[in-house]
Amino acid sequence: MPNQEDKIDRYLREEMSEEERKAFEATLNTDQNLQAEFSLQEDTISGINLFGAEALKKQLQEVEAQQTASAPTSRGRPLYVWLAVAASVTALLLVTILLFDTNSPELYAAYFEPYPNVVNPMERSEGTPTDINGQAMYYYEQEKFDEAIALFSQEQSNDQAYQFYLGVSYLGNQQPSQAERTLASLTEDQESAFYEAALWYTSLANLANDEPEKAKSKLEMVSRMEGEFSSEAQELLEKL
């Protein structure tokens, strides 16, 4: 009679008959021990499918060899022990993936920070400014990007500084395409005080849109400038 682990394995491999599958699912709905082992084995198989079986198989063989050497006459450990080992290996691999194989939108989220207000930084005790651009910058500092965008757009100032902060506000508001369009003229004006910063934030907009190749060209330019974003640009290039 097949044991519990064999049943789980056959179920996951879709080798059960319709009658067996229904009986197994009925038991699974009520048996907490079976649920725990099922979840563990399911996660392990997912890990094997994701990362490949060879490294995991080697790890399991090493553990089994150590067990055999230390207690050669003892009965082999049950399957759930090997599954626990496999699950720990899978967890380690998942951490590695998160640390070293981050996708473009995640890189954007990791590196995005609003640019400091260098136009008219305000003390909190001063209260809310009365002019539109001042109010826009106030909300920008509060990271209330919706309100900042509405006010910047209402003013429609030609000032490059406010255009830059509008672009960063779009990026902070999860509107990367609009941010890229808003910053476009600044990335073409090498005389602009915001040239490097505009390139940097446009590269982040490209990453947010999952366009790493577009981001690379801008990051390469920023890294060569040896300015305030050069080291971060180099870091990002190494991760892309």
The range of the structural domain enclosing residue 92 comes to: 4-101
How many angstroms from the chain centroid is the CA of residue 20? 40
| Residue 228 DSSP SS3 | coil
pLDDT at 231: 93
Same domain, 169 and 132: yes
- CB neighbours of 7 closer than 8 A, spacing ≥ 6? 24
Same domain, 227 and 142: yes
Same domain, 119 and 234: yes
**Both tokens assigned to 62:** 């090493």
**Please, which contacts does 105-111 make with residues 24 or more away whose CB atoms are closer than 8 Å?**
105/207, 105/208, 105/210, 107/207, 107/236, 107/239, 107/240, 108/176, 108/204, 108/205, 108/207, 108/208, 109/208, 111/204, 111/207, 111/232, 111/236
Same domain, 115 and 223: yes
Domain end, chosen from 68, 101, 134, is at 101
Same domain, 174 and 194: yes
Q: Tokens 């476009």 map to which residue?
A: 184
pLDDT at 37: 81
pLDDT at 156: 59
Same domain, 114 and 230: yes
Give CA separation, 165 vs 108, 159, 208, 217, in Å.
Answer: 18, 10, 18, 22
Domain end, chosen from 36, 67, 101, is at 101
pLDDT at 124: 47
pLDDT at 75: 45
**Cα–Cα distance for residue pair 132/130, rounded to 1 Å:** 7
The domain that holds 225 is classified in CATH as 1.25.40.10
pLDDT at 167: 96
pLDDT at 183: 96
Same domain, 35 and 97: yes
| Helix axes of 176-187 and 160-172: crossing angle, nearest 10 degrees | 150
Same domain, 79 and 118: no
pLDDT in tens, the chain (240 residues): 457 778 888 888 888 898 888 888 888 888 888 887 887 776 666 555 554 445 545 555 555 565 556 554 444 444 444 555 555 555 555 554 444 445 788 889 899 999 998 876 655 445 666 688 888 888 999 999 999 999 988 865 668 888 999 999 999 999 999 999 999 999 999 999 999 999 999 999 999 999 999 999 999 999 999 888 999 999 999 987
Same domain, 113 and 37: no
Same domain, 231 and 175: yes
Same domain, 119 and 17: no
Domain end, chosen from 101, 123, 143, is at 101
**Both tokens assigned to 146:** 């919706």
Residue type, 64: E
Same domain, 64 and 114: no
Give the total number of structural domains in the chain. 2
pLDDT at 234: 93
**Cα–Cα distance for residue pair 240/181, rounded to 1 Å:** 23
pLDDT at 128: 63
